[in-house]
Structure 1
């Protein structure tokens, strides 16, 4: 893997989930890593882990909502390694609950982190790429880019905004063939993200059905480093959602609304949470980093609110029936 070994890679959001899995994966293949997230002690754990796997790594505590801090992250990478070959925008947060019951500050912070955080990353690294004449910018998006995400509307807004941002950036850079902007669209990934986020549903949230491994996403990110391309879609659910959004948007919107409402009304005995209760406090990790920095979320082990697999199958059947009638 010549494009990974020896490459200088900055990972924003490296402390858990997809970011930590990506750091481990790239470390195994000899990348030089610059790890960023808000909690310094967590980053040191990940840095030590990556060094044991064979990487030369540094940890730079960074809040991606602070543009000056993100510029300092880019400077720290250049000061240590002399260049930046790859920048991965992965930091993300979310808040779940009825739109008008979620504090407006939480909606703002979700968009500030997920959208402006990636804008800050691109703004810090693109001048470096231009001076070098080459570079790969990788942005983590979501199937929420295409599919309505009821009870997580500001998260969907941030991811949809990212798609518009990256498409526009690619158009602006089209005369620079060695500067690449790549989007990653994973399906539902088993990370601690939902546990970390703010929760105003009155339920502990779990996800049922097939989920993507964080390491599958990490492998896709590695493939983009080796062979940059505009986008990579991960998982059957992501492809199916994209197709349904294109050919049957109204039935999809109805089905997703029904499924999510049903899922958030189901809880096993003893699993109910007070409105606003989430790991780390009512606002979760929106304004302060979580203590948990695991790769996996372990959602198949918990017993709480589940988005029922049968309901998803019913939604798919309804969409299929509608398409058949259209034809």
Structure 2
């Protein structure tokens, strides 16, 4: 399938940028959305180089419900329809629930949960009128498990998954409209290095680490063949971690803290910082993170 109108929210970095380039290679028309104007320029160039002839960019923050309305209105004005929406925008924070500043915790949750709500409320009525369309929410392994010192991100992704699953149920009356969920594990994107951090140590993606292009390819496959009632996992360890969390909670709780400190934190000290939670950091936005470089 080619020639679709695809909106990618969070398109300036990581999974969103990888997905945008993958759609561009299919000759789809793109609307790229991000908070980061400078990084969007680079994303636009990458998509044009990959083969997309029509690339629009919008600087918007989907935590604002009016922004979601503007995104959809601009897409309809330019293209006349919306075939696929991919919501990848997310921010992350490390730190215990007790020590993370309340405004950081709230913004992490708002970006995933309310961003999904605002975007779906703006675009699903359009897809209903079209009698066709696919809304793809990029969730996470942490939408199914919890990990100490990642409570904000887990809360954001559990909440987002609840919204997406509810939307799947509420769109059953329109067979041509699909709401899909992608749940990556550890992916080599810049999010780990841009996250808010209150642990005292710098962070890294835990092994096994996959490429963002692998998630981008999964997103394109879902757009081609939507799977309404399945969360598509991307990561070989996801099923094992989820099974341990659900079936062996005492063992899981005993192991998850030490394993997190070993696999997800480095020995390098880190000062408390809000990272890119409140404001983007354009110079750090790209497809790939630093892995496997040690820090």
- Indicate if the aligned counterparts of 2:116 and 2:163 stay in contact, CA closer than 8 A: no
Quote the offset at 1:129 in angstroms. 0.4
- Indicate if the aligned counterparts of 2:95 and 2:199 stay in contact, CA closer than 8 A: yes
Residue in structure 1 matched with residue 125 of structure 2 by the alignment:
127
- Indicate if the aligned counterparts of 1:28 and 1:53 stay in contact, CA closer than 8 A: yes
Residue in structure 2 matched with residue 225 of structure 1 by the alignment:
223
Matched, 1:210 2:205: no
CA separation in 2, counterparts of 1:266 and 1:289?
24
Matched, 1:47 2:38: no
In structure 2, relative to structure 1, the CA distance for the partners of 1:76 and 1:101 (3 Å cut) is same
Residue in structure 1 matched with residue 237 of structure 2 by the alignment:
237
Q: Matches of residues 93-242 of structure 1 in structure 2 within 5 Å?
A: 93-229=91-227, 230=229, 231-242=231-242
- Indicate if the aligned counterparts of 1:201 and 1:264 stay in contact, CA closer than 8 A: no
TM-score by length of 2: 0.95
SS at match of 2:202: coil
TM-score by length of 1: 0.86
- Indicate if the aligned counterparts of 1:186 and 1:217 stay in contact, CA closer than 8 A: yes
In structure 2, relative to structure 1, the CA distance for the partners of 1:206 and 1:286 (3 Å cut) is same
Quote the offset at 1:246 in angstroms. 3.0
CA separation in 2, counterparts of 1:171 and 1:63?
27
Quote the offset at 1:174 in angstroms. 1.0
CA separation in 2, counterparts of 1:57 and 1:173?
29
Residue in structure 1 matched with residue 22 of structure 2 by the alignment:
25
Larger relative strand fraction: 2
Quote the offset at 1:253 in angstroms. 2.5
CA separation in 1, counterparts of 2:175 and 2:108?
33
SS at match of 1:181: strand
The answer for unaligned runs of 5 or more in structure 2 is: none
Matched, 1:285 2:282: no
SS at match of 2:269: coil
> Which sits farther off after the overlay, 74-83 or 40-49?
40-49
CA separation in 1, counterparts of 2:145 and 2:212?
21
Residue in structure 1 matched with residue 74 of structure 2 by the alignment:
76
Cα RMSD, aligned residues only:
1.4
The number of equivalent residue pairs is 291
SS at match of 1:101: coil
> Which sits farther off after the overlay, 38-47 or 188-197?
38-47
Quote the offset at 1:14 in angstroms. 0.3
Residue by residue over 1:269-312, the C-alpha shift from the partner in whole angstroms, topping out at 9 and shown as x without a partner, is xx2222x1xxxxx2111111012111111221022xxxxxxxxx
- Indicate if the aligned counterparts of 1:33 and 1:58 stay in contact, CA closer than 8 A: yes
In structure 2, relative to structure 1, the CA distance for the partners of 1:124 and 1:251 (3 Å cut) is same
Matched, 1:16 2:5: no
CA separation in 2, counterparts of 1:206 and 1:157?
20
Quote the offset at 1:254 in angstroms. 2.4
CA separation in 2, counterparts of 1:207 and 1:285?
17
CA separation in 2, counterparts of 1:35 and 1:264?
30
In structure 2, relative to structure 1, the CA distance for the partners of 1:185 and 1:289 (3 Å cut) is same
Residue by residue over 1:58-107, the C-alpha shift from the partner in whole angstroms, topping out at 9 and shown as x without a partner, is 00111011110111011111111110000111000011012211100000
CA separation in 1, counterparts of 2:23 and 2:157?
25
Quote the offset at 1:250 in angstroms. 2.9
Q: Structure 1 segments of 4 or more deviating over 4 A? A: 261-266
CA separation in 1, counterparts of 2:207 and 2:172?
40
Residue in structure 1 matched with residue 291 of structure 2 by the alignment:
299
- Indicate if the aligned counterparts of 1:35 and 1:59 stay in contact, CA closer than 8 A: yes
- Indicate if the aligned counterparts of 2:9 and 2:86 stay in contact, CA closer than 8 A: yes
Quote the offset at 1:181 in angstroms. 0.6
Quote the offset at 1:264 in angstroms. 6.8
